[in-house]
Amino acid sequence: MSDPKDPLSYWPQFVATTEARMRVGRQEYGDVSFSRNPEALITEIEEELADVCGWSFVLFARLQRLREALRASALSLPSEPVNQPSNRRL
């Protein structure tokens, strides 16, 4: 079980999830990625990063709507500017 106070406690779960994804990929595609042209892998990584950014925006927009709904219902939230990064670190 992970300890919410220790971010690294999630590491084993991250590794297990990544390994499971690799095994699914192996079953579906074999090990061809290990012999693909490096430029093709770069393109694949760029496409995946664009997907991650897109999904991050979807979640960001949903969180903004949630924040607005909470404020509209008179619940108080700490007022941290939405358009400025916080000083918090991952």
pLDDT in tens, 26-65: 999 999 999 999 999 999 999 999 999 999 999 999 999 9
Confidence label for 1 from pLDDT (cuts 50, 70 and 90) = confident
Mean pLDDT, range 61-90, rounded to an integer: 75
Average pLDDT of the chain?
A: 88
Domain ranges of the chain: 7-35, 37-71
Confidence label for 90 from pLDDT (cuts 50, 70 and 90) = low
Report long-range pairs for 81-90 (Cβ below 8 Å, ≥24 apart): 90/7
**DSSP codes of every residue in the chain:** ---TT-GGGGHHHHHHHHHHHHHHHHHHHTTGGGGS-HHHHHHHHHHHHHHHHHHHHHHHHHHHHHHHHHHHTT-------TTS--S---
Q: Is the pLDDT of residue 68 over 60?
A: yes
